[in-house]
Amino acid sequence: MKTAKVVLITGMSGSGKSVALHALEDAGFFCVDNLPPELLPDFVRLEGERRTQRIAVAVDVRTGRSLPVLLPLMQALEAHGVLIRSIFLDSVTEALVRRYSESRRPHPLARGGASNDAAQALNEAIAQERELLSGLRDVSTVLDTSLLRPAQLRAWVRDLVGVSPGTLTLVFESFAYKRGVPLDADFVFDLRVLPNPFYERELRPLSGRDEPVRRYLEAQPEVGALLSEIEGFLTRWIPGFEVDQRSYLTVALGCTGGQHRSVYAAEQLGARFAGTRPTLVRHRELDSTE
């Protein structure tokens, strides 16, 4: 019987952990940043005695040499009935470099040196951090924050922790290929082969959520055929991920601009699977403009 709920926020430095933690704090979680891993069992026990219902802890490479003990401690807690939901925030290296350049803050693993070596030192520190955190990433739900605004990240984190635990949650995410494939995708489907509403003048300013766009796409036989094939593929293979005790499965659907075809497909597939298991639908490009 699961006795407590702990959300672990981890990931790359500069990927938005502070934003995520503040979002959980606003949602009623008791939050602690940069908790030494050795203290995690005592902290969970103490808050359990206080009957704190929801706990969020941020852990990253700032913990230094203590980081390797985190995974065994998590496994031990779960063996004692503690439900731990681990969210790993990731970003492409270019985005991390840009954020550090804008904030002028040092990377926790960066070494001092000549100013003309600063860029190289930062890239080396990021590469080292990826290696150190690879084990945590493998057991976590990965959220790619490379192109997310803070408001998007806050909303997506709240969505992730708001789903009831114990079953596989499907996440359908639309995106634009011109801005890159999401790092958190488990499956990627390319919808650029489908007719593009962008070339219909009256449909260009609309999105895949709008009725005229839906009618246009539903009138194209290949659209229905492709969605049915994606649905059949997922239906066939989802049970295998459930057996593997996965918490989330992210299905990324891409088109050129992330506005029409991919948005429509994400909405349609989300509706088709909503009756079978927990389902989230998010639109990387569309949500960033709202």
**Average pLDDT, integer, range 91-111:** 88
Burial class (CB in 10 A: 0-12, 13-18, 19+), 225: exposed
DSSP per-residue letters across 214-243:
HHHHHT-HHHHHHHHHHHHHHHHHHHHHHH
One domain for residues 62 and 148: yes
Integer Cα distance of 67 and 88 in angstroms: 14
Give the domain extent around 127: 4-162
Phi, psi of 140 (to 5 degrees): -115, 165
Last residue of a domain, one of 162, 178, 194: 162
Integer Cα distance of 96 and 188 in angstroms: 23
- Kindly tell me the sign of the dihedral angle through the C-alpha atoms of 155, 157, 158, 163: positive
At residue 264, the 3 state secondary structure works out as helix
Query: Of the given ranges (20-29, 36-45, 47-56, 277-286), which has the lowest mean pLDDT?
Result: 47-56
One domain for residues 185 and 157: no
- What residue ranges in the chain does DSSP mark as E strands? 4-11, 30-33, 54-58, 82-90, 141-144, 169-176, 187-190, 248-255, 279-283
Nearest CA-CA partner of 233 in 274, 168, 187: 187
**Average pLDDT, integer, range 80-109:** 90
One domain for residues 147 and 183: no
Integer Cα distance of 9 and 101 in angstroms: 24
Per-residue pLDDT at 49: 80
Q: Which are the contacts of 105, defined by CB distance < 8 A and separation ≥ 6? A: none
Last residue of a domain, one of 110, 141, 162: 162
One domain for residues 122 and 236: no
One domain for residues 122 and 217: no
CA–CA distances in Å: residue 25 to residues 30, 50, 56: 6, 17, 8
One domain for residues 173 and 150: no
Per-residue pLDDT at 120: 83
Structure confidence by residue, pLDDT tens digits, 138-162: 989 999 999 999 999 999 999 888 8
Nearest CA-CA partner of 259 in 207, 182, 217, 218: 207
One domain for residues 75 and 91: yes
Per-residue pLDDT at 51: 75
Integer Cα distance of 90 and 94 in angstroms: 12
Domain containing residue 36: CATH number: 3.40.50.300
One domain for residues 75 and 144: yes
Confidence of residue 126 (pLDDT cuts 50, 70, 90): very high
Query: Of the given ranges (7-16, 116-125, 189-198), which has the lowest mean pLDDT?
Result: 116-125
Residue whose structure tokens are 């990731």:
90
One domain for residues 155 and 249: no
Per-residue pLDDT at 116: 52
Per-residue pLDDT at 290: 60
Q: In total, how many domains does the chain have?
A: 2
CA–CA distances in Å: residue 215 to residues 151, 221, 229: 31, 12, 20
Structure confidence by residue, pLDDT tens digits, 156-192: 999 888 876 567 899 999 999 999 999 999 999 999 9
Last residue of a domain, one of 128, 162, 196: 162
